[in-house]
Structure 1
């Protein structure tokens, strides 16, 4: 791996926290799992999660993004984390690879998330790949998101990408989640921090200059992925412990308990909006289907009247004061205080180790 990679790995341990210690993850999940499986008001989830499939292709070793095809039935997309090149995989319902696609004109510095959407202006199905990982929180001058037209056939191919460059208005940071509103086509980035945030991209993206990401609301602690519901009435943010459903930033609908995973990396909605799909890293890694609580699913079922007309404007324009709403009703999204204290302790210790390594190689 080399010294530089070792330093980044140490930083990753700080960022990943419980993801690198399954015992901590299990303890945290057990501490809040029962409460997290209920919506506000105590309504139970409809059913338990089920294993949908495992990735059969050994080249899929660090599945970091997950999306459901808007046009091909039973086709799922994923891509690896950093160091794997600008490629993504189309996978069938049995977990077998249907095709491998190379994204031309793209780099893969640290791909952390993807999204699938239908362009509201053209009706064209598109896929988004987010090169937004930054374990040093500001090491990169800007970040990139690549957009490609969804393949019409499931055969290996090279696809031309449109690259959009981004910079945060309030300074560089690490992020692992993107989501695209299905009605407006607007892109959002969710940062992965102890005090995370949701950032909105400009309504119209530019390829000839850097696009500025502006904070529009809070996000749960250490968010690893995010996705909009198919009808745009709500969105989900995944953390290492659970998932949180929102009507708008700071407006929690419910928390949903997630299956125990070694390193929870991805989340998306099923095409009917009634369930969530979630995955993790590793060879032969699983993808689980988690039914939404009845109340939450009713908000996202196709054809259900929703507040989609109001939601995008609220998301795009919600003031930072919405963080106070989160403090009252969402806070750390159910992560036990003891676990947060443990994370901080590990972070402080790891920081000392990283400093010592840096001194040795300087």
Structure 2
């Protein structure tokens, strides 16, 4: 997202409810992203096989590259996605995929400020099990998606390991929409996003589901919200309940959130040069 939005406006629109807060410690700054390659971070995803590392990417109009950073926010690897473009990459997720026991990285080319795109895309590639070289290339699988209703601007991509679904949240309506599709797609597949429920939030810039599927977070420009998902419950059933609000120190243009691989908290990232990466430890 390139447009600068006034924080006061975001505060007014950020949520329509006042959830109770979950006790969380003050955030820890893991480090600052000092690489000039990553100046418009628009998403972040924690890695299971690469412990302590995170995947991220730039916003629209940049090169089709995914970056791996370590627990100090240092850039350690750049992966170019071949034969695709970065029309409007807005979020990234890590999770299960078509092969059991393997993890995959999902990149959401899902932004649409004007609500005019006929289709959006998700790019998927197998996650390396060891730190890749400083520069490498990979050809991702591509899933082309359409909404069941009208085109939407979206910045939140979530992978559910329990139902094996991909979830997308719209961004800017007064009441946003939650959509899903199956994650077991093949390269070149087309699918229609199923519309599920409306939620009383707006300007939602990121979301994540934990690796065990029981923790769900989304963030607006000014707030972070949380749901615990019970056994036997779908994501949409869990999110239909009122959320609990998590502490969040407003970033300049915070557009990324991920739950850590071991479920001990969540990490946020913002657009901008020398942007800090924050870790919030939660207690339940």
Is this contact kept in 2: 1:51–1:287, CA < 8 A? yes
Is 1:123 aligned to 2:106, yes or no? no
Residue 23 of structure 1 and its aligned partner are, at CA, apart by 5.5
Aligned counterparts of 2:46 and 2:195: Cα–Cα separation in 1: 27
Q: Tell me which of 191, 206, 212 is aligned to 1:225.
A: 206
Any idea what SS the aligned residue of 2:151 has?
coil
Q: How does 1:143-154 map to 2 (within 5 A)?
A: 143-151=120-128, 152-154=130-132
Q: Which moved more, 1:114-123 or 1:141-150?
A: 114-123
Aligned counterparts of 1:265 and 1:241: Cα–Cα separation in 2: 10
Residue 222 of structure 1 and its aligned partner are, at CA, apart by 1.2
Q: Tell me which of 12, 18, 21 is aligned to 1:38.
A: 21
CA separation of 1:178/1:54 partners in 2, compared to 1, >3 Å: closer, same or farther? same
Look up the match of 1:300. Answer: none
Q: Tell me which of 262, 281, 284 is aligned to 1:291.
A: 281
Residue 202 of structure 1 and its aligned partner are, at CA, apart by 3.2
Q: How does 1:1-362 map to 2 (within 5 A)?
A: 13=3, 20-22=5-7, 38-39=21-22, 45-119=23-97, 121-137=99-115, 139-151=116-128, 152-155=130-133, 156-194=135-173, 195-202=175-182, 204-219=184-199, 220-246=201-227, 247=229, 248-292=238-282, 294-295=283-284
C-alpha distance after superposition, 1:125-159 (max 9, x if no partner): 1100000000011x111000000011233212101
Question: 4+ residue stretches of structure 1 with deviation over 3 A?
Answer: 22-25, 206-209
Any idea what SS the aligned residue of 1:212 has?
strand
Look up the match of 2:232. Answer: none
CA separation of 1:272/1:37 partners in 2, compared to 1, >3 Å: closer, same or farther? farther
Look up the match of 1:352. Answer: none
Aligned counterparts of 1:144 and 1:125: Cα–Cα separation in 2: 19
Unaligned runs of 5+ in 2: 230-237
TM-score for the superposition, normalised by structure 1: 0.69
Look up the match of 1:3. Answer: none
Q: Which moved more, 1:115-124 or 1:212-221?
A: 115-124
Any idea what SS the aligned residue of 2:56 has?
strand
**Higher-RCO chain (CA-CA 8 Å, sequence separation at least 6):** 2
Aligned counterparts of 2:72 and 2:126: Cα–Cα separation in 1: 24
Is this contact kept in 2: 1:36–1:256, CA < 8 A? no
Structure (1 or 2) with the greater strand fraction: 2
CA separation of 1:204/1:78 partners in 2, compared to 1, >3 Å: closer, same or farther? closer
C-alpha distance after superposition, 1:229-272 (max 9, x if no partner): 12101311111111111231212351112112111201000111
C-alpha distance after superposition, 1:102-124 (max 9, x if no partner): 01122210000000113374211
Structure (1 or 2) with the greater helix fraction: 1
